[in-house]
């Protein structure tokens, strides 16, 4: 089989390009705008189309919704769109991101067409911990050909949790656009800090949507304690509206994504108090690339992202307010800490290269099965 005859089809539950902020949708945007191997995108109608990729648009009409409801299969419309581009004779690779529920109807669909053996299903999981119980997982892992995870630690969790894992596994770290997120020259950073009136302060940043699992309430309580003990510090809260007034805190609310780099570039220390098993943490690597020292929860994929403390400080008890209080105080008293970050890591360039390698290897697997 000539690998050029193999069609790569991405099934996306979001229109691509996606007009709102999203982690994996941004990764695919950066990828498809460069040299890529995606032939078709199956998705609902986006506001604009990628010019270097073909589409099959998922219908979202009233009739489609009614048919999906009657058949109790909301994914029917995706399979109907997929059918328009799926090769009947040639080879194909189907990529799916986080949509566990589509696998069973997809396998039945491919078997009904008699072409399951012609294809290779890659499932990209952006969580950290196993999704299924051990028994419920068996159909899923026997149905897909490859599971792509964000970290090696996540793979170890899966390997230790399940009794049977018959599919292949790959690791693809998240990556960000380093033309936007990068550390400033020291003189330029100092100049911008003077302009903003913060040259005499140590600036901490928290950035996320204000959901309990993001840990803002823990940071705000720790900040009350810290601010009573230290001066010339300020906490910038980005992504959520102002709560009750609190000394030493500025709430910026939601800001355009293209303005975020400057906030990170002029600040000093990034706080990442996640209280969930975070898959990777895009904002964390954005802060690292912008030169921030990072203090983060030792949960999920975060320890691997920070190279187990080489790029920042890991909080082993993130639910304990005093853990954050002590870590912040330690940084204030020793602010010369560097993040020692390798800027070649976690870039959109490395993600693109990794994606191309994953697709190329899948094509080789299909070729060897002939």
Say which CATH number the domain at 226 has: 3.40.50.2000
pLDDT higher than 50, residue 1: no
In terms of domains, do 72 and 92 share one? yes
pLDDT digits over 311-329, tens only?
A: 999 999 999 999 999 999 9
In terms of domains, do 281 and 358 share one? no
In terms of domains, do 168 and 281 share one? no
Q: Where in the sequence is the domain holding 356, given as residue range(s)? A: 3-175+348-368
**Cβ-based neighbour number of residue 2 at 10 Å:** 9
In terms of domains, do 222 and 107 share one? no
Which of 262, 201, 205 shows the shortest CA–CA distance to 238? Answer: 205
In terms of domains, do 136 and 271 share one? no
In terms of domains, do 111 and 218 share one? no
- Residue 72 falls within a domain, yes or no? yes
In terms of domains, do 152 and 233 share one? no
Task: Give the pLDDT score at 370.
Answer: 64
pLDDT higher than 90, residue 251: yes
In terms of domains, do 191 and 109 share one? no
In terms of domains, do 14 and 108 share one? yes
pLDDT digits over 125-160, tens only?
A: 999 999 999 998 999 999 999 999 999 999 999 999
Average pLDDT of span 345-360: 97
Sign of CA dihedral 339, 255, 30, 185: negative
Task: Give the pLDDT score at 335.
Answer: 74
Please, are residues 24 and 124 in contact by the beta-carbon 8 Å criterion?
yes
- Residue 100 falls within a domain, yes or no? yes
Lowest mean pLDDT among 1-5, 87-91, 180-184: 1-5
Using N-to-C axis directions, what is the helix angle for 62-70 and 76-83, rounded to 10°?
110
In terms of domains, do 171 and 115 share one? yes
Task: Give the pLDDT score at 244.
Answer: 75
Q: In whole angstroms, how far apart are CA 244 and each of 34, 207, 217, 227?
A: 45, 18, 12, 16
How many residues make up the chain in this entry? 370
- Residue 343 falls within a domain, yes or no? no
In terms of domains, do 223 and 358 share one? no
Q: Number of structural domains, the chain?
A: 2
pLDDT higher than 70, residue 72: no
- Residue 281 falls within a domain, yes or no? yes
pLDDT digits over 36-46, tens only?
A: 999 999 999 99
- Residue 341 falls within a domain, yes or no? no
- Residue 340 falls within a domain, yes or no? no
């Amino acid at each position: 089989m000539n690998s050029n005859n193999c069609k790569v089809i991405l099934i996306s539950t979001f229109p691509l390009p996606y007009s709102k902020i999203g982690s994996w949708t941004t990764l695919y945007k950066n990828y498809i705008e460069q040299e890529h191997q995606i032939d078709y995108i199956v998705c609902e109608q986006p506001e604009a189309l990628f010019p270097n990729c073909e589409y099959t648009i998922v219908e979202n009409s009233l009739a489609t919704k009614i048919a999906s409801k009657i058949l109790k299969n909301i994914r029917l419309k995706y399979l109907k769109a997929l059918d328009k581009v799926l090769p009947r004779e040639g080879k194909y690779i189907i990529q799916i991101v986080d949509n566990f529920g589509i696998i069973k109807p997809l396998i039945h669909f491919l078997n009904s067409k008699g072409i399951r053996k012609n294809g290779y299903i890659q499932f990209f999981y952006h969580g950290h911990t196993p999704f299924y119980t051990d028994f419920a997982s068996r159909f899923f892992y026997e149905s897909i050909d490859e599971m792509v995870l964000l970290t090696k630690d996540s793979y170890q969790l899966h390997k230790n949790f399940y009794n049977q894992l018959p599919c292949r596994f790959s690791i693809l770290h998240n990556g960000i656009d380093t033309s936007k997120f990068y550390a400033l020259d020291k003189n330029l950073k100092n100049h911008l800090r003077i302009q903003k009136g913060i040259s005499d302060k140590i600036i901490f940043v928290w950035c996320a949507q204000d959901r309990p699992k993001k840990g803002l309430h823990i940071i705000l309580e720790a900040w009350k304690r810290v601010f009573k003990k230290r001066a010339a510090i300020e906490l910038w809260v980005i992504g959520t509206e102002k709560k009750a007034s609190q000394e030493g805190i500025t709430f910026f609310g939601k800001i355009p994504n293209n303005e975020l780099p400057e906030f990170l570039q002029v600040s000093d220390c990034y706080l990442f108090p996640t209280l969930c098993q975070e898959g990777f943490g895009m904002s964390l690597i954005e802060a690292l690339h912008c030169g921030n020292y990072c203090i983060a929860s030792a949960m999920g994929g975060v320890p691997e992202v920070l190279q187990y403390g080489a790029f920042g400080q890991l909080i082993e008890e993130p639910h304990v307010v005093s853990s954050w209080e002590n870590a912040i105080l330690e940084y204030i008293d020793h602010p010369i800490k560097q993040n020692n970050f390798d800027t070649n890591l976690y870039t959109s360039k490395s993600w693109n290269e990794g994606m191309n390698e994953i697709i190329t290897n899948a094509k080789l697997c299909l070729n060897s099965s002939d």
